[in-house]
Structure 1
Amino acid sequence: MEIHENQLLRFTTAGSVDDGKSTLIGRLLFDSKAIFEDQLQAVETTSKRKGHEGVDLALFTDGLRDEREQGITIDVAYRYFTTPKRKFIIADTPGHIQYTRNMVTGASTANAALILIDARHGVIEQTKRHAFIASLLQIPHVVVCINKMDLVDFSEKVYHDIINQFEEFSSKLYVKDIRFLPISALLGDNVVNRSTNMDWYQGAPLLYTLENLHISSDINKIDARFPVQTVLRPQSQDFLDYRGYAGKVASGIFRPNDEIAVLPSGFTSKIKSIDTFDGEVKEAFAPMSVTLTLEDDIDVSRGDMIVKVNNQPKAEQEFSAMICWLNNEPAKPRAKYTILHTSNEQTAMIKSVLYKIDINTYGRDEENKDLNMNDIARVTIRTTRRLMIDEYRDNRTTGSFVLIDPLTNETVAAGMIM
Structure 2
Amino acid sequence: MGTVSLKLTERVYRSENDFQDLKKSWNNLVRFTGADVFQLHEWQYSWWDNFGSNNELYIITYSLQDQLIAILPFFIQEKKFNRFRFVKTLHFIGSHLTTIEGGILPVNKAFAGYLDIIVHPDHVDLISKKIRVLFEELIQTVDQINLDEIPEHSLLMHSLPSLRGSDKWILNKTEASVCSQCLIGSDWDRYLSTLSRSTRKNIRRGLRSIYDDEVFDIKEAETEEEFDRIFDMLVRLHQNRWHQQDLPGIFADKRMEDFFRSTALNLFKNGWASIHWAEKKQQIFAVELSYHFNHTIYTVQTGYDTESEYTRYSPSNLIIYHMMKTGIDNGYLVFDWLRGAESYKSSTTSLVLQNQKLTLSARNNSGYRLFLTEISTNLLTKFQNEKWVLSVYLGNYTLLKALNKNFKRVIFHIVSK
Q: Same fold (TM over 0.5)?
A: no
Q: Judging by fraction of residues, say which structure has more helix.
A: 2
Report the TM-score, using the length of structure 1 for normalisation: 0.26
Q: Judging by fraction of residues, say which structure has more strand.
A: 1
